[in-house]
């Protein structure tokens, strides 16, 4: 049985984290550098953005993870370290500075960054802040690290669970950031996950790649795929369970724990979209295959017209059918049922791809809540999928019109 617990990325045994202000961000009113460290090296895996233009840290992290081993993550906010002439050099130097302070190998430190693209990232903030950052490392430091990696986010994002493997209690937790430039396809979406479960390099990589498809990749705020998207998992084995090396009951428990944490972090990212007022979830059932279900659900939450209607609490269900209809997938669109629901209740707005009478005032009440779900049944199979997004508001334009200032 999987149990929700507190602690985020430091909930698992042997992990510490910290966040401090280094001088990268303007103003000095928010921490901008985070460090997550395991007491021992662990088996690790990562997934990155599919954008052809990638942040410099991705190239460095790929090299450092070539052996499947990592011990720490170093992340700055306020500067994406993307499209800069010396980006990789800076990322490498930053890990070397951290390694010297920590007394570990620089190759076991994975760099990450988020913020403005195309602005050179100086090395001086890393040199200045590293002693304080390392000395601040704490088993209670998850929130500090989670806060330090935020950009336009309005709240920290952390989640943790416990599960059993091989007769031992294992813990898995993580933090994430993401608010704008979010159209994840593996936005500036970052997620760092730690676990004390003993699991092989091959199996932790398999689990992450399989989880991504139905969690982070099903999130969209604005349709822009970031240059910096990165998800990292480090498993240090300190729970003491027999190492998971193949499929079976223990792997299934690990996978479910990873999926729960990844799903909750994905929903937090979607619900904190720039300027948004509501979390929008699309649940598609009755699809002919899993890919169709994923594509249709994501098409719905990506529709700017429907997102604007949700902002206004307008049950303009025709926009849902329109978004379903232009999905690049093969399915029968002649018998689609649609309902909208929230904590206020549920109402069906479309049956067999056609209009039906419904209480428009009740639908408006449903859509006025902070979390809104669109239920779609394609009646064309047995597969299902979820996707998460948010409403589209006036403030989205305001935030992005002044992002650099």
pLDDT in tens, 312-322: 999 999 999 99
- Tell whether 180 and 315 lie within a shared domain: no
Residue 175 to residue 90: CA distance in whole angstroms = 24
Nearest-10 crossing angle of helices 56-64, 87-102: 50
pLDDT tens-digit map of 88-125: 999 999 999 999 999 999 999 999 999 888 999 999 99
- Confirm whether 225 is a catalytic residue: no
- Whether residue 196 contacts residue 236, with contact meaning beta carbons closer than 8 Å, is answered with yes
Q: What is the pLDDT of residue 395?
A: 67
Beta-strand pair 337-342/15-20: unpaired
- Tell whether 26 and 158 lie within a shared domain: yes
Task: Assign residue 386 the CATH number of its domain.
Answer: 3.10.20.340
| Residue 76 scores a pLDDT above 50 | yes
- Tell whether 232 and 107 lie within a shared domain: yes
pLDDT tens-digit map of 280-291: 999 999 999 999
- Tell whether 133 and 209 lie within a shared domain: yes
pLDDT tens-digit map of 201-236: 999 999 999 999 999 989 986 555 557 788 999 999
H or E element at residue 390: strand 383-390
Q: Which of 220, 253, 271 is the last residue of a domain?
A: 271
Cβ neighbors of 380 (< 8 A, separation 6 or more) are: 286, 287, 288, 331, 332, 335
Average pLDDT, the chain: 92
- Tell whether 173 and 311 lie within a shared domain: no
Residue 125 to residue 20: CA distance in whole angstroms = 11
Q: What is the pLDDT of residue 179?
A: 61
Catalytic choice (188, 215, 327, 393) = 188
- Tell whether 117 and 255 lie within a shared domain: yes
Whole-structure pTM value? 0.91
Task: Assign residue 211 the CATH number of its domain.
Answer: 3.60.70.12
Half-sphere exposure of 293 (CA within 13 A, CB side): 20
* DSSP H helices in 303-358: 304-311, 318-325
- Tell whether 191 and 327 lie within a shared domain: no
- Tell whether 71 and 200 lie within a shared domain: yes
Q: Which of 271, 303, 319 is the last residue of a domain?
A: 271
| Residue 251 scores a pLDDT above 50 | yes
Q: Which of 271, 303, 321 is the last residue of a domain?
A: 271
Q: How many domains does the chain have?
A: 2
- Tell whether 369 and 386 lie within a shared domain: yes
pLDDT tens-digit map of 129-166: 999 999 999 999 999 999 999 987 888 999 999 999 99
- Tell whether 138 and 86 lie within a shared domain: yes
User: Per this entry, what is the length of the chain?
Assistant: 405
User: Which residue range(s) make up the domain with 165?
Assistant: 3-271
- Tell whether 225 and 306 lie within a shared domain: no
Q: What is the distance in angstroms between the CA of the first residue and the CA of the last residue of the chain?
A: 48
- As a whole number of angstroms, the longest Cα–Cα distance in the chain is 68
- Tell whether 328 and 203 lie within a shared domain: no
């Amino acid at each position: 049985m999987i149990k929700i617990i507190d602690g985020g990325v430091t909930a698992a045994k042997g992990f510490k984290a910290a966040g401090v202000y280094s001088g990268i961000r303007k103003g000095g009113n928010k921490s901008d550098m985070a460090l997550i460290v395991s007491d021992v090296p662990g088996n690790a895996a990562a997934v990155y953005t599919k954008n052809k233009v990638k942040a410099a840290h991705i190239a460095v992290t790929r090299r450092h993870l070539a052996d499947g081993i990592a011990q720490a993550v170093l992340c700055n906010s306020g500067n994406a370290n993307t499209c800069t002439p010396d980006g990789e050099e800076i990322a490498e130097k930053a890990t070397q500075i951290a390694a010297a302070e920590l007394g570990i190998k620089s190759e076991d430190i994975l760099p990450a960054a988020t913020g403005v693209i195309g602005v050179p990232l100086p090395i001086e903030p890393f040199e200045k802040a590293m002693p304080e950052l390392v000395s601040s490392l704490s088993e209670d430091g998850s929130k500090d690290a989670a806060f330090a990696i935020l950009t336009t986010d309005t709240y920290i994002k952390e989640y943790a669970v416990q599960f059993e493997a091989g007769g031992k209690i294992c813990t898995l937790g993580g933090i994430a950031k993401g608010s704008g430039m979010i159209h994840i396809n593996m936005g500036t979406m970052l997620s760092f996950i730690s676990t004390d479960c003993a699991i092989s390099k091959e199996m932790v990589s398999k689990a992450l790649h399989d989880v991504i498809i139905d969690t982070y990749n099903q999130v969209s705020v604005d349709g822009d795929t970031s240059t910096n998207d990165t998800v990292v998992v480090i498993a240090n084995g300190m729970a003491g369970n027999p190492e998971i090396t193949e499929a079976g009951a223990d792997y299934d428990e690990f996978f479910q724990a990873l999926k729960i944490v990844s799903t909750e972090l994905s929903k937090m990212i979607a619900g904190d979209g720039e300027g948004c007022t509501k979390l929008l979830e699309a649940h598609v059932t009755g699809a002919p295959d899993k890919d169709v279900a994923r594509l249709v659900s994501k098409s719905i939450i990506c529709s700017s017209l429907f997102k604007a209607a949700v902002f206004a609490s307008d049950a303009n269900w025709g926009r849902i059918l329109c978004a379903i209809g232009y999905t690049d997938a093969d399915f029968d669109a002649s018998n689609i049922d649609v309902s909208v629901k929230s904590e206020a209740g549920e109402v069906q707005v479309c049956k067999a791809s056609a209009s039906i009478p419904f209480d428009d005032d009740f639908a408006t009440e449903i859509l006025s809540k902070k979390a809104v779900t669109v239920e779609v049944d394609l009646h064309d199979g047995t597969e299902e999928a979820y996707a998460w997004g948010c409403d589209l508001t006036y403030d989205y334009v305001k935030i992005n019109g002044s992002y650099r200032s």
